[in-house]
Structure 1
């Protein structure tokens, strides 16, 4: 006689299979009524079709194809039976944390519905999955406004520092905060009872580009072959030369007026009879002398300004040439001969001269 203890495991397996058949075998048992589906706003026909196709694929162990169909059926027509099938599918796919959470949800729904068979089925799988659950623990330094995401999903601040069940595989962890740089890493979680602790450092502030405190200093004269300095000298030369020409013109006009006024007074017999001027004639002669003085000053100032302007204009050309010569010398080019014309002014008169640079 075979002891009954030998047959106990077989009896237990048969009981589990019978329970699974009762819980999962009938679409009518697993799915809510059409009226409930329509109240939920889903398509009961499509939901039932996807459910049956998902079940068929599960029986063939094609979990990767079955799970999306069951998930869509659950979305279209939520039901505790469909949820249990979806949890079984994810368990078969190795998504232990996802399956555990769905079995938990189905357990609470079954208790609410008073369905003892489904409640027992969900509890059995929860008990089997919990020792195998892998977890991730996110330990974060204090950063104002910190937001942590795992695979794009937000993790509440209250969950930081607490081991969270997670499916095995690679997961992307990202930490962000307004005004701070983004931190991210990839963690590989093992298949069974693995615990990965991730240390999220304090985020670094985003570097800001500061504007200059004041206006930029102008480039030094003589740069780029002396073009800046040479251009300024040339402009000043033209301005001063133009002013000198204007003053020279005024002096010339006063000179002509002075000569005419003196000549007219001397020729007027009423003012200067026999070259002896009356008081009225002397006034005319004095006025003419004043105009002559203004003419002399104007001509002198005008000539000096023209000379200064010419020097500045000619010097600006030499500045550019000297800059070019220096550049040529730096690059080993042969030196060139430069010459410039300058005005010569002295007590005996004026003229021009030539200065050379060799």
Structure 2
């Protein structure tokens, strides 16, 4: 059999490949007999089934479907015949570097087994593929702990600066090292005898991670801590909120007084409500008084709630620095209880000091 020339048309190479595959398969050169001979621990039935299905798909030129089945058969029950078929399948798909490596592996296995026919078959395809192999050369600046990956495969440091066979197509090149930022690029490798050289620069140190911001609010101090700065902050906040509650209560009282006066004046005015029957203008006055009364009720509720919240903060902040000696004789005990009234509500604090 005459090996293919690198300059032969692709259609002619594929026709020759198909013919060689059929002829050699009929001669039992590509049968998976080597699998059983190697005694691997996989499932022989499944391996044989996948091999036969892969061969059928190859004969139908469905190489993309055939290759995974042959690869799994080889994984389950490694054999030189299966490996040769897998190499033929990858060659048909244009994966020249993968096929070349598999033919090389099959060549060494055939020599070890003393199978001259398979050895010659593998060598013929190796000789035909080698002039067409595309390659990639990686040059890298020195970076401690440098790791390089091409298309998901790790590249050892010893391979740097050496052209490496690679399948045609698009490949992602990535370089990284602990403490350094990741560098990456994409390279497009041609179908035949292409050589791509990638210069990997010295990696840049990774930016330092941002530290979490410290909490801005005051920390809660213990009752017997003698009054920490966190406790003082809570005490101050309690007085501020309580003061605001008193102010809101004052506003509620003002609106209550206004509402009561406005309603009383309207009812007593004979022009607005003669004989207790209010005119439309009188009704407007009564409605305005009711609105003020509602605002008064809301103000009282909010004010009471604010007073309760302020009291809680003061009571749970622990003793102040000036009250440390008195706090040592007994802890502050306090609990919050709800206050519910027909026209509003709030909270109350019951405690022992």
Partners of 2:24 and 2:203 in 1: CA distance = 50
Which structure has the highest helix share of the two?
Answer: 1
Partners of 2:74 and 2:193 in 1: CA distance = 29
Structure 1 position 207, deviation (Å): 2.1
**Does the 8 Å CA contact 1:19/1:117 hold for their aligned counterparts?**
no
Structure 2 regions of 5+ residues with no counterpart? Answer: 1-12, 212-235, 237-353
Q: Which residue of 2 aligns with 1:63?
A: 63
Q: Which residue of 2 aligns with 1:155?
A: 155
Deviations along 1:170-189, one digit per CA (max 9) or x if unpaired, are 00100000000000111000
**Does the 8 Å CA contact 1:27/1:52 hold for their aligned counterparts?**
no
**Does the 8 Å CA contact 2:110/2:118 hold for their aligned counterparts?**
yes
**Does the 8 Å CA contact 1:174/1:185 hold for their aligned counterparts?**
yes
**Does the 8 Å CA contact 1:176/1:182 hold for their aligned counterparts?**
yes
Q: TM-score normalised to the size of structure 1?
A: 0.52
Deviations along 1:225-262, one digit per CA (max 9) or x if unpaired, are xxxxxx9xxxxxxxxxxxxxxxxxxxxxxxxxxxxxxx
Relative distance call for 1:178 and 1:81 in structure 2 (3 A) is same
Q: Which residue of 2 aligns with 1:119?
A: 119
**Does the 8 Å CA contact 2:138/2:199 hold for their aligned counterparts?**
yes
Output aligned runs, 1:27-106, within 5 Å.
30-32=31-33, 36=37, 39-106=39-106
Q: TM-score normalised to the size of structure 2?
A: 0.53
Relative distance call for 1:196 and 1:203 in structure 2 (3 A) is same
Q: Which residue of 2 aligns with 1:187?
A: 187
Relative distance call for 1:191 and 1:117 in structure 2 (3 A) is same
Partners of 2:34 and 2:116 in 1: CA distance = 19
Matched, 1:176 2:179: no
Partners of 1:154 and 1:96 in 2: CA distance = 19
Partners of 2:136 and 2:74 in 1: CA distance = 28
Output aligned runs, 1:275-314, within 5 Å.
none
**Does the 8 Å CA contact 1:142/1:202 hold for their aligned counterparts?**
yes
Deviations along 1:288-342, one digit per CA (max 9) or x if unpaired, are xxxxxxxxxxxxxxxxxxxxxxxxxxxxxxxxxxxxxxxxxxxxxxxxxxxxxxx
Q: Which residue of 2 aligns with 1:24?
A: 25
CA RMSD across the alignment: 3.1
Partners of 1:85 and 1:21 in 2: CA distance = 11
Q: Which residue of 2 aligns with 1:133?
A: 133
1:30 counterpart SS class: coil
Relative distance call for 1:35 and 1:162 in structure 2 (3 A) is closer
Deviations along 1:141-196, one digit per CA (max 9) or x if unpaired, are 00011000011111000001100000000001000000000001110000000000
Structure 1 position 25, deviation (Å): 2.8
Structure 1 position 30, deviation (Å): 1.8
**Does the 8 Å CA contact 2:168/2:190 hold for their aligned counterparts?**
yes
**Does the 8 Å CA contact 2:34/2:80 hold for their aligned counterparts?**
no
Relative distance call for 1:72 and 1:27 in structure 2 (3 A) is farther
1:196 counterpart SS class: strand
2:106 counterpart SS class: helix
In our comparison, the structure showing a higher alpha carbon Rg is 1
Partners of 1:98 and 1:19 in 2: CA distance = 19
Deviations along 1:89-120, one digit per CA (max 9) or x if unpaired, are 00000000000000000011111111111111
Relative distance call for 1:170 and 1:28 in structure 2 (3 A) is closer
Partners of 1:34 and 1:156 in 2: CA distance = 31
Structure 1 position 17, deviation (Å): 8.8
Partners of 2:52 and 2:75 in 1: CA distance = 15
Structure 1 regions of 5+ residues with no counterpart? Answer: 1-12, 212-230, 232-358
**Does the 8 Å CA contact 1:23/1:117 hold for their aligned counterparts?**
no
Q: Which residue of 2 aligns with 1:197?
A: 197
Relative distance call for 1:33 and 1:106 in structure 2 (3 A) is closer
Structure 1 position 32, deviation (Å): 2.7
Q: Which residue of 2 aligns with 1:108?
A: 108
**Does the 8 Å CA contact 2:30/2:84 hold for their aligned counterparts?**
no
1:184 counterpart SS class: strand
**Does the 8 Å CA contact 2:30/2:82 hold for their aligned counterparts?**
no
